[in-house]
């Protein structure tokens, strides 16, 4: 290129720059090829515990919980939903101070741990941190987990904000440990979600909800479900459930041997407790058990013998349930000696 053309080109660029400065026009410099433009900072992605328990398994956990823990056998499941609940994880330290009757300090101890609290209702959920500490579980992205589930779950947002969190958990920990609030310090707050199955039940025409953790399978709000007292029919039904599984026969025999020992020890005291299993009843129960197991062990199983054993067990437990200690007979009155004249 001739020198004149180079000078003209430089002069033209100089004029353009001067015009840009006069009219305040700023040109965006072009990025060299292959270089991506700077991206905006992405928002922090929310983490959740993975969904390791499917709906069918959660149903079985619910059945076992209602039968074994609450003795509730007559209920109806109205519906179930999977939701992701938010939890605040944090670390606390607390100085426990022991005082005597005169409120003088005798000793002190510092304890601490990492726990979680429900970010909606504020209830403690220490099982979540225990699950993370003892199981090889890694958190996953909440959006990815929702995509994997096909959008069938819903995400709950926290109601306890970070601005009020510190004072709230201080009061929560101090109340649980019966310690002064000033002796509790908290730190390391982290918001995380966890999958929860919520079952809607009707028990005696009253609606309840049972929540099962979808990661570890723990019942969450078990205290809200009423406990039903066990009757003799419930005990028989429980024994039959154990006897259906040969692996649980040992547990059945262990329970019955405890009942025999307790009844014998109570009988030695001279006073019998409210209908328990006496020695005769215990022997009869073992005979019925042997009859039942013998009927099951036959190939094919002798269902007639099994049915007879069940009927005998029902009769025996009915008798034991209705047995009551007889009242002591009053002493006979002294013989009639007549009036004052009769003694002469």
**Element spanning 106, H or E:** strand 105-118
DSSP secondary structure letter of residue 119: T
Q: DSSP strand E in 64-205: where? A: 76-99, 105-118, 140-141, 154-155, 184-203
pTM of model > 0.75: no
**Measured distance CA(217)–CA(197) in Å, rounded:** 9
pLDDT of 7 strictly over 60:
no
Confidence of residue 343 (pLDDT cuts 50, 70, 90): very low
**146 CB contacts (<8 Å, ≥6 apart)?**
84, 153, 155
**Measured distance CA(300)–CA(280) in Å, rounded:** 32
Token representation of residue 13: 């660029």
More confident residue, 140 or 337: 140
* Maximal C-alpha separation, the chain: 170
Q: How much of the chain exceeds pLDDT 90, in percent? A: 31
DSSP secondary structure letter of residue 221: S
pLDDT score, position 100: 82
Best-predicted range by mean pLDDT among 13-17, 134-138, 308-312, 324-328?
134-138
pLDDT score, position 273: 45
pLDDT of 342 strictly over 50:
no
Give the model confidence (pLDDT) of 209-244 as tens digits: 999 999 999 999 888 888 877 666 666 666 666 666
Q: What is the mean pLDDT of residues 157-186?
A: 91
Q: Which sign, positive or negative, has the C-alpha torsion 329, 334, 338, 339?
A: negative
* DSSP code per residue over 20-52: HHHTT--PPPPPPTT-PPPPPPPPPPPEE----
**Element spanning 268, H or E:** helix 249-268
Q: What is the mean pLDDT of residues 173-202?
A: 92
Give the model confidence (pLDDT) of 87-105 as tens digits: 999 999 999 888 788 878 7
Q: What is the mean pLDDT of residues 9-17?
A: 57
Confidence of residue 56 (pLDDT cuts 50, 70, 90): very high
φ, ψ of residue 334 in degrees (nearest 5): -65, 150
Give the model confidence (pLDDT) of 259-279 as tens digits: 655 555 555 554 444 444 556
**Measured distance CA(173)–CA(121) in Å, rounded:** 15
pLDDT score, position 223: 80
Best-predicted range by mean pLDDT among 136-140, 150-154, 259-263, 270-274?
136-140
**Measured distance CA(280)–CA(224) in Å, rounded:** 41
Closest alpha carbon to 162 in 136, 195, 187, 179: 187
Helix axis angle for 232-244 and 303-322, nearest 10°, is 150
**Measured distance CA(116)–CA(313) in Å, rounded:** 48
Token representation of residue 140: 């996953």
Give the model confidence (pLDDT) of 71-87 as tens digits: 788 888 999 999 999 99
Q: What is the mean pLDDT of residues 253-257?
A: 65
Confidence of residue 46 (pLDDT cuts 50, 70, 90): very high
């Amino acid at each position: 290129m001739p020198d004149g053309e180079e000078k003209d080109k430089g002069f033209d660029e100089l004029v353009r720059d001067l015009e840009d400065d006069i009219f305040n026009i700023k040109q965006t410099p072009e990025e060299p090829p292959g270089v991506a433009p700077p991206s905006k900072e992405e928002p922090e992605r929310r983490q959740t515990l993975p969904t390791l328990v499917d709906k069918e398994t959660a149903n079985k956990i619910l059945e076992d919980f209602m039968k074994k823990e609450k003795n509730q056998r007559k209920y109806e499941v109205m519906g179930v939903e999977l939701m992701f609940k938010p939890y605040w994880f944090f670390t606390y330290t607390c100085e426990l101070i022991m005082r005597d009757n005169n409120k003088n300090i005798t000793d002190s101890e510092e304890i601490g741990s990492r726990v979680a609290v429900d970010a909606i209702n504020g209830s403690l959920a220490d099982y979540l941190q225990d699950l993370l500490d003892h199981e090889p579980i890694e958190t996953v992205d909440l959006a990815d987990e929702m995509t994997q589930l096909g959008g069938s779950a819903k995400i709950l947002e926290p109601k306890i904000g970070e601005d009020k969190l510190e004072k709230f958990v201080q009061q929560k920990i101090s109340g649980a440990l019966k310690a002064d609030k000033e002796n509790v310090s908290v730190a390391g707050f982290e918001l995380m979600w966890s999958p929860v199955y919520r079952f809607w039940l009707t028990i005696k025409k009253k609606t309840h909800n049972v929540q099962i953790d979808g990661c570890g399978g723990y019942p969450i709000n078990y205290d809200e479900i009423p406990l039903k007292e066990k009757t003799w029919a419930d005990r028989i039904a429980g024994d039959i459930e154990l006897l259906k599984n040969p692996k649980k026969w040992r547990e059945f025999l262990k329970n019955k041997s405890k009942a025999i020992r307790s009844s014998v020890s109570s009988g030695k005291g001279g006073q019998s407790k409210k209908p328990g299993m006496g020695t005769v009843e215990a022997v009869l129960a073992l005979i019925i058990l042997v009859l039942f197991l013998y009927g099951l062990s036959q190939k094919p199983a002798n269902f007639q013998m099994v049915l007879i054993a069940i009927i005998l067990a029902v009769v025996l437990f009915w008798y034991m349930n209705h047995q009551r200690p007889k009242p002591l007979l009053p002493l006979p009155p002294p013989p009639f000696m007549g009036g004052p004249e009769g003694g002469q």
